[in-house]
Amino acid sequence: MSNPFSGSSPYLNPDYVSEVQSQAAADGSSAEAKVGTYQTAIWMDHIGAIAGDSTHLGLKAHLDKAAAQAAGSSSPVLVEVVVYDLPGRDCAALASNGEIPATDAGLTQYESQYIDAIVGIEGASAYSNLRIVNFVEPDSLPNAVTNQSKTACATATPYYEKGIAYALGKLHGIGPQVYNYLDIGHSGWLGWPNNMSGAGPEYVKVVQAAAGGYATVDGFVSDTANTTPSDEPFLPDSNLNVGGQPLKSANFYQYNPYFDEHSFDEAMYTQFVNSGFPASIGMIIDTSRNGWGGAGRPTALNSSPTDVNSYVTANKVDKRPFRGDWCNINGAGIGARPQANPYGAGDHIIADVWIKPPGESDGDYPTASHSHGDPHCDPAGTQTDGNGGTYPTDAIPGYDIPAGQWFAFQFQQLVQNAYPAIGGGGGDTTPPSTPTGVKVASTTSSSVSLTWTASTDNVGVTGYDIYRGSTLAGTSATTSFTDTGLAASTQYTYTVKAHDAAGNASAASAPVTATTSAGTGDTTPPSTPTGLTVASTTSSSVSLTWNASTDNVGVTGYDIYRGSTLAGSSATTSFTDTGLSASTQYTYTVKARDAAGNASAASAPVTATTSGGTGGATCTAAYQIGSDWGSGFTANVTVTNTGTTTIKNWKVTWTWSGNQQVTGMWNATNQQSGRSETATNMSYNGTIAPGANTSFGFQGTYSGSNAKPTLTCTAS
């Protein structure tokens, strides 16, 4: 499949451009005016939008203007259309519920009055020379993956599946000038392993039901109308161990290993291809509101925090207090400008786009004058993370603006906090020249200094972005940069991009490699750690202690190995290895490292056996909230065989901390007595092989708090 964004000219929505120009004129802001020079998608968010009205062009009028533009253009003109009017739309939210009910009659209306009408216009021969990209039904199939415990979603899902299959087949049938990209939510939604593994079969099911099958989908789009950053430059490894815990265990991420859209989309690409989609599919990110610039954005790694929550807070660019916040987020900024192949032609991310026009509201909240709204949009509201944490909605205070309407303050804030910053530029779209002559000026055991030749640009180069591999190492206003905090005796690869006053970025420079030194002449390793001892064990952890090592330039820390695998690092003489299997023997060694980057020989090994029996039937149970709406919730429990023999039957028990009541359970039978809860396997899922798992789920009600319980699993 070709990349429609490559080599094309953008069609600008004149309705949106007019809104931007009016605001920019009122504010006297050239930066705001610049926003109107970038392409945004045209939303067909109700049947009436197809024909248009007195203030908004209809689809045919847009395509007529695009065709006129194409007549005078040397490159194909690209038009972006959002297909967004499913029966029972946005079943898990209230801010943007649709006009068509989730019924058989509603599906017929969706197909005949909505999809067929769009197809009839896009398929006209007058537009065969355009490239038309359809972003198909935001926030639809992700609800089919995660929110089936909600009655509205369970009811709507069959209509989502049939409606999308119909839309894909009809739109694809127009011809090769039409491209379809299915929405996949964002990393904070489908990033958890169970959600991601469930996405593949769901999307395969829908696409195979379309007339044309896999050929009807050119790829997938994430982060639509969301603020999750494309990259977390200072948190590239979700498994990095800080204070004995991986970063993904932080409260903000809750064991979701995908912190940004780039890593999430790459993982989803693999998931989809492994599920049967062709390897030629492309991934797209909506960057219209995920920039997170401003004074609060970290500019360098802060490695001083010693616990995961503080480390994540100090280094993440996503400044939301809670990752589930989504409505008119306070402090957000415009992200990367629309462009093809933002990470290079070899990356699966084929484009950054602006699907949600910056400055259009996400939704209002219920008040006496706003009867239809969503509590998540209430600046004074709160929401819970399902594990006992309560957070503000983070919606911009002082406003209550319905979805899709112009939100002047939000637009001003998005421009102010844009990253990269938006300059005036007078409509300039020409990127700076690519930096040349990138050289390694010097290295130490922990740093690399680079220099390069200045780039040129018609409106002026304002700075440079320096990438270590695919990670943003930092920015510079000059033609030199020093990357610090590196590991000794390690090879790194760098590229440099220039950016200009209009916010355009150059292509990446030719890469250059550098190897840090082993220190300033010191080659003496620390003494080998001694006295390695098993301090304690549980069914899932081993705690170790040892004697401090000595070194002529100072010991900076210790690396702990489980067999030949690095289990983690510690700045002290103790470490706890977690997430282990019960009744299992592990062997550990420890190495010390010094300020010059030298490592000691490995300590004498020590073995430890986690508790839980000696080869009998043992299990663990992991509890995860699926969704929580303040008075009710759903949860999923994964039961894992941690022993060495096959489990025949299992039972999970826990005690609620509050007044929770289970109203329905699936894949297990339950018995509740007061606060005590017992879940027992069904006849078909009691048998679990060693290392394998099964799961059950339930829906419940509560008032007050909904703290995560401690589960006990027993097996026979």
Element (H, E) at 695: strand 693-701
CA 84 – CA 89 distance, rounded (Å): 8
CA 550 – CA 529 distance, rounded (Å): 9
**Token digits of residue 681:** 């396997």
Taking each helix axis as running N to C, give the angle between helix 14-27 and helix 408-416, from 0 to 180 degrees, rounded to the nearest 10. Answer: 80
Neighbour-count burial for 587-623, b at 16+ CB within 10 Å, e otherwise: ebbbbbbbbbbbebebbeebebebebbeeebbbbbeb
The size of the chain, in residues, is 716
Q: At which residue do the structure tokens 């989309």 appear? A: 265
Q: Return the amino acid letter for 172.
A: H
**Token digits of residue 467:** 């990438």
Question: In 64-138, which ranges are E strands?
Answer: 77-83, 131-136
Question: In 444-564, which ranges are E strands?
Answer: 448-453, 461-468, 471-476, 480-483, 491-500, 512-515, 533-537, 542-545, 555-562
Question: In 374-490, which ranges are E strands?
Answer: 382-384, 390-392, 436-443, 448-453, 461-468, 471-476, 480-483
**Token digits of residue 524:** 């003496």
CA 265 – CA 271 distance, rounded (Å): 10
Q: Return the amino acid letter for 322.
A: F
Q: At which residue do the structure tokens 């303050």 appear? A: 409
Torsion-angle region of residue 344: left (phi > 0), alpha (psi -120 to 50) or beta? left
Sequence-separated contacts (24+) of 491-494 with Cβ below 8 Å: 491/515, 492/448, 492/468, 492/516, 493/468, 493/469, 494/438, 494/448, 494/450, 494/466, 494/467, 494/468
Half-sphere exposure in the Cβ direction for 156 (13 Å, CA): 30
Q: Would you tell me how many other CB atoms lie within 10 Å of the CB of residue 100?
A: 23
135 vs 43, 224, 433, 487, 709, CA distance in Å?
Answer: 9, 9, 32, 43, 40
Q: Return the amino acid letter for 45.
A: D
**Token digits of residue 433:** 């020249």
Q: Mapping DSSP to helix (H, G, I), strand (E, B) and coil, where does residue 685 land? A: coil
Q: Return the amino acid letter for 259.
A: F
Cβ neighbors of 155 (< 8 A, separation 6 or more) are 88, 91, 102
Q: Would you tell me how many other CB atoms lie within 10 Å of the CB of residue 631?
A: 9
310 vs 229, 250, 313, CA distance in Å?
Answer: 19, 9, 5
Evaluate whether 351 touches 282 at the Cβ level (below 8 Å): yes
Catalytic residues: 139, 362
Q: Mapping DSSP to helix (H, G, I), strand (E, B) and coil, where does residue 709 land? A: coil
Residue 163 CB burial class (10 angstroms; 0-12, 13-18, ≥19): buried
